[in-house]
């Protein structure tokens, strides 16, 4: 359990910066429901104020503690990192601490009947999770024509569901991409390149920066 795991100041900074860069939702519960976080150490250098060597050491420690793990980068199959459920819970505990520091009153103790209501409310909220939405930046980096990324981009321009993406996100061996990599191919891979992604219903739509005609070069 995360309340039995302690982290150093550097490890906490690492986790918080990685969450800012890779989470698709603004709270731990929704994020854990999908758990499609994916990030690379090189992306953390600027915002964490740590060099790559230091980040590698921290990543190794957090991996041993079960808070992050290795995964595959979307489209390339290269190694990247992802939060484990325990890691997401840990970042959620950081947010709870910040709420306490801001003197946000803790919820009153509830009775057994109140607990039943709490469960029903939680399920209702989970079913109606906030759709993913992030606007395009001023500039974006296009992908190469004829590549797997270009195929994914073309689908997102038209609007594609997660199931649509699963049919595209297949390795040359015929093996499907991991859930995290497929989810990232719908969302964070593109937002990190400057494109916007907006979820409308069950479809993900790519938003181009003003003046950009195509995400494919």
Distance of CA 118 to the CA centre of its chain: 26
Q: What is the DSSP letter of 26?
A: S
| pLDDT < 70 positions in the chain | 1-3, 24-25, 34-35, 73-77, 98-130
Phi, psi angles (nearest 5°) of residue 159:
105, 120
| First vs last C-alpha separation in the chain | 47
- The pLDDT value recorded for residue 156 is 96
- The pLDDT value recorded for residue 92 is 87
Residue in 165, 203, 197 with CA at minimum distance from that of residue 181: 165
β-partners of residue 205 are: 198
Q: No. of H helices and E strands in the chain?
A: 10, 6
- The pLDDT value recorded for residue 10 is 92
pLDDT, one tens digit per residue, over 142-166 is 988 888 888 999 999 999 998 899 8
Look up tokens 């195509």; give the residue: 214
Residue in 213, 194, 47 with CA at minimum distance from that of residue 134: 194
β-partners of residue 176 are: 170
How far is 66 from 120, CA to CA, in rounded Å? 30
DSSP SS3 for 110? coil
For residue 161, count CB atoms less than 10 angstroms from its CB and return exposed for 0-12, middle for 13-18, buried for 19 or more.
Answer: middle
Here the tokens at position 84 are 């484990």
- Count how many residues are written for the chain: 217
DSSP SS3 for 27? coil
Phi, psi angles (nearest 5°) of residue 120:
-65, -40
What is the H or E stretch that residue 199 is in?
A: strand 196-200
């Amino acid at each position: 359990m995360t309340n039995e795991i302690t982290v150093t100041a550097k490890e906490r900074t690492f986790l918080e910066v990685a969450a800012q860069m890779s989470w698709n939702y603004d709270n731990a519960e929704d994020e854990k429901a999908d758990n499609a976080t994916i990030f690379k150490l090189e992306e953390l250098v600027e915002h964490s104020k740590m060099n790559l060597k230091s980040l590698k050491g921290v990543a190794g420690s957090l991996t041993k503690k079960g808070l992050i793990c290795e995964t595959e980068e979307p489209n390339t199959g290269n190694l990247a990192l992802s939060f484990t459920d325990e890691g997401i819970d840990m970042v959620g505990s950081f947010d709870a601490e910040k709420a306490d520091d801001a003197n946000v009153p803790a919820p009153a103790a509830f009775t057994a009947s109140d607990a039943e209501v709490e469960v029903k409310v939680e399920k209702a909220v989970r079913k109606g999770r906030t759709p993913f939405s992030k606007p395009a930046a001023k500039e974006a980096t296009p992908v190469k024509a004829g590549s797997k990324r270009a195929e994914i981009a073309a689908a997102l321009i038209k609007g594609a569901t997660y199931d649509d993406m699963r049919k595209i996100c297949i390795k040359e061996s015929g093996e499907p991409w991991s859930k995290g990599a497929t989810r990232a191919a719908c969302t964070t891979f593109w937002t990190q390149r400057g494109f916007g992604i907006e979820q409308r219903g069950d479809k993900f739509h790519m938003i181009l920066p003003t003046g950009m005609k195509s995400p494919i070069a």
